[in-house]
Amino acid sequence: MSNPMNFAFLRKEALPPNGRKVAIIGAGPSGLAASGYLACLGYEVVVYDKLPQPGGLMVFGIPKKRIPPERIQAGVKRMERQFGVLFRTKTKICCSAPLHEEEGDHFSCDIRGLGELVREYDAIMICTGSWKSRKLGIPGEKLKGVHSGLEFLFPIRAARYASPNVSMPAVQGKRVAVVGAGHSAVDVVDSAHALGAEKVYMIYRRTVREAPCGSYEIDRIEEMGATWLERRTPLSVMGDDSVVGLELANGVTGETETLDVDMVVTAIGEIPTPPFQQELGLENVRKGEVRWLHMTSIDNVFVAGDVLTGPSKIGKAIYSGLRASRSLTNWLDLKAQDREDEYNYDEDKIDR
């Protein structure tokens, strides 16, 4: 068995059951860290995820050579066997609304509502990440051959879990323009190469020094044969039915230029995807004073990871899941204490 990732690192063995039940929505790094923390403290933990395997973007976004999925699955098995955590995969949690159009929705066989969970559990933690891609907002973005970063990468990663609705991007022999310079953009460049693209361009509106992926990655993809084009802003995707080119403003020369490509992948970031927006008051949570407590505007519903902070990193998501769990346990302890005080107060009145 691969060396398991340890999500339940607080204790070697769980404390005896404390009678409290928590639902975690989303089995990415933040949800797994929260599950491990709470299970170690004797909470009954049930994790819901719309995808067929736990791991979130660690499995369905990041290439397996960076994080072997077997290590994540081994860590999940350990939580199941040793700490009694239950995983309910292929289950999407949403409002009364039907499925959104997010990546991975088609894997879900079961849908459950928040109201149901609120009634069933002592507390809920939302760890649903950022699964909607940002758009460029330029003409031609709806043409055939334009994809978002996640749209492009997700089927490649999900192919091993064979779903009839997942088909790999057809890249063989194509010229591909990748817009963006973050780690997802680099992953798209790598995957396009691996899938047999004839030519790959990486396009960024700023300079190499400002590229979030760093100059090492840019040197590496250039050595691989990709072309780095900096200070270029996409103006429109050209074509009638499908992509035939990308029009760019060249910030160096001040001129407009055209790149002959058959595919455009926009890897310019993702947007948080909570299962329901307004009800949680997430906008206020992000800005407001309760952010550090990870509390939403619904009693006993907490939030952690990229869905709260916007796209970040695995380490930060894990930290967020742990902080939110501590906040959740403190909150439940406080409520239990309040109930006890109320009870004692009533007893006092009866005695008098």
Ligand X SMILES: Cc1cc2nc3c(=O)[nH]c(=O)nc-3n(C[C@H](O)[C@H](O)[C@H](O)COP(=O)(O)OP(=O)(O)OC[C@H]3O[C@@H](n4cnc5c(N)ncnc54)[C@H](O)[C@@H]3O)c2cc1C
Name the residues that contact ligand X, by CB under 6 A. Answer: 25-31, 48-51, 56-58, 61-62, 66, 92-94, 104, 127-129, 131, 153, 183-184, 187, 273, 275, 305-307, 311-315, 317
- Minimum CB distance to ligand X smaller for 50 or for 147: 50
Question: Closest approach of Cβ 260 to ligand X, in Å?
Answer: 26
Judge contact between 140 and 122, C-beta under 8 A: no
Nearer to ligand X, 326 or 335 (CB): 326
**Distance of closest approach, residue 303 Cβ to ligand X, in angstroms:** 10
Residue with smaller CB distance to ligand X, 86 or 235: 86
Closest to ligand X by CB, 242 vs 277, is 277
Least distance from ligand X to the Cβ atom of residue 13, Å = 25
Q: Which is nearer to ligand X, 29 or 234 (CB)?
A: 29
Nearer to ligand X, 177 or 178 (CB): 178
Three-state helix/strand/coil letters over the chain: CCCCCCCCCCCCCCCCCCCCEEEEECCCHHHHHHHHHHHHCCCEEEEECCCCCCCCHHHHCCCCCCCCHHHHHHHHHHHHHHHCCEEECCEEEECCCCCCCCCCHHHCCEEEEHHHHHHHCCEEEECCCCCEECCCCCCCCCCECEEEHHHHHHHHHHHHHCCCCCCCCCCCCCEEEEECCCHHHHHHHHHHHHCCCCEEEEECCCCHHHCCCCHHHHHHHHHCCCEEECCEEEEEEECCCECCEEEEEECCCCCEEEECCCEEEECCCEECCCCCCHHHCHHHHHHCCCHHHCECCCCCEEECCHHHHCCCCHHHHHHHHHHHHHHHHHHHHHHHHHHHHHHHHHHHHHHC
| Shortest distance (Å) from residue 339 CB to ligand X | 31
**Cβ of residue 158: shortest distance to ligand X, in angstroms?**
11
Q: How far is the CB of 334 from ligand X (least distance, A)?
A: 26
- Minimum CB distance to ligand X smaller for 22 or for 27: 27
State the nearest-atom distance from the C-beta of 291 to ligand X, in Å.
15
